[in-house]
Amino acid sequence: MTSPSTGSRAGFLRMHPDGTASYGSRVLGSVLLVAIALFLLVALVTSPPDTSEADAMGDLVRIMYVHVPVAIACYTAFLVTALASAMYLWKRTEGWDALAAASAEVGVVFTALTLATGSIWGHTTWGTWWEWDPRLTSTALMFVMYLGYLALRRAVIDPVSRAKQSAILGLVAFVNVPIVHFSVDWWRSLHQKATISRFDPAIEGQKLFALMFGMVLALLAYAWLMLHRFRLQWAEAQVEAKGLDVALAERRAEARADSDPIPEGVNS
Amino acid sequence: MIVAAASPWSYVGAAYAITFVSLIVYAAFVIVRGRRVGKHLPPQERRWSQ
């Protein structure tokens, strides 16, 4: 079913009639594109290499400007999944379920990026792509748990049962998120401790600015992806409900036809 | 070994390329999927487009 073109806005802000875009998402997307260009300029050109200590990272410090922000974005995504799951269990409305599911998928993408960029960082600093270190292991476990969450959503057919089971798993899986974050403090770890603590950041000046800019950018990217992913999840739920309604109506019609007495004059 | 001889900038480039390319591919995937699913919904049920 195709609707006429959306709105009278022309050019860059014109939207596909069937898509998940809105005027707000287009504006946010435009801001995001400009911010990405500025971020690349700051992170790769204007910010200086790390020369502060004996074990200074040099230009490799620039990996941190994407690694830490994508990790923050995945924490945020899983926090939203947990909150939306709790809200679903309380209110039982499909909007909360759609929000939890959308945020979990976006979070899994950010977690995969955290592992990938962390692996590159690890190879340069520790000489190995992977180490069974508390931070890395708990992050990998978090990744697998949320993949399991997405698999569960595909495995259960009944929408109400699926939403309830997913909400419980969305809450249980979130227990691992603080474990990931504090693992570097709780156990001996190869991974460095938090770069930005509340009162004493380990970096300063333009490097701190690049890192903070990266965090804002990652959260903007998360927000933009969520706008589209949540609308997609909502649309899929509506289409699924319509499909179920049609199937139920057909089944009822079949049952009615089966139970009706055979009209006289019709040979069996 | 190529990896051992790689300059810091090759690691930095790889990290940035993986991050931005992955996010762009995922965003395109979500948008295309949204358009496909949206075709099956009447416009009044796509509240964001009103």
Residues in chain A where the model's pLDDT stays below 50: 1-8, 268
In angstroms, the separation between the Cα of residue B20 and the nearest Cα of chain A is: 9
The whole domain housing A177 covers: 30-45+58-238
**Would you call B34 an interface residue with chain A, using a CB distance cutoff of 8 Å?**
yes
Is the pLDDT assigned to residue B5 strictly greater than 90?
no
Note whether residue A200 is domain-resident.
Answer: yes
Residues on chain B touching A2 (C-beta within 8 angstroms):
39
Residue A76 lies in a domain: yes
Count: domains in chain A: 1
Residue B8: pLDDT band with limits 50, 70, 90: confident
Quick check: is A103 in a domain? yes
Tokens of A191: 């991974």
How far apart CA A111 and CA A142 sit, in angstroms, is 8
B37 interfacial to chain A (CB closer than 8 Å):
yes
pLDDT at A62: 94
When comparing pLDDT for B36 and A197, which is higher? B36
Interface mutation target, options B41, B44, B50, chain A, most CBs of A under 10 Å: B41
CA distance B6 to A86: 47
Query: What are the phi and psi torsion angles at A3 (to 5°)?
Result: -90, 160
CB contacts under 8 A, A 22-41 vs B, are 22, 25, 36, 40
ipTM of the complex as predicted: 0.89
Structural domain includes residue A151: yes
User: Rounded to two decimals, what is the model's pTM?
Assistant: 0.86
Residue A252 falls inside a structural domain: no
Per the CB < 8 Å rule, is B42 touching A18? no
A165: in domain:
yes
CA distance B31 to chain A (A): 7
CA distance B26 to chain A (A): 8
What is residue A123's predicted lDDT score, i.e. its pLDDT?
92
Compute the distance between CA of residue A186 and CA of residue A172 in angstroms, rounded to an integer.
21
Facing A66 at nearest CB: one of B15, B31, B37 = B15
The predicted pLDDT at position B43 comes to 79
Interface residue B10 vs chain A (CB under 8 A):
no
State whether residue B29 sits within 8 Å of chain A by CB: no
| Residue A183 falls inside a structural domain | yes
Contacts of B17 in chain A (CB under 8 A): none
- Would you state the pLDDT for residue A268? 44
Pair A142, A180: CB distance under 8 Å: yes
Verify whether the Cβ–Cβ distance A63 to B27 is below 8 Å. no
**Window A:134-193, CB contacts with B under 8 Å:** none
A59 with B9: Cβ contact below 8 A = yes
Closest chain B residue to the Cα of A24, Cα to Cα: B48
Q: How many CA atoms lie within 13 A of A244 on its CB side?
A: 10
Compute chain A's Rg from CA coordinates.
24
Please report whether residue A6 resides in a domain: no
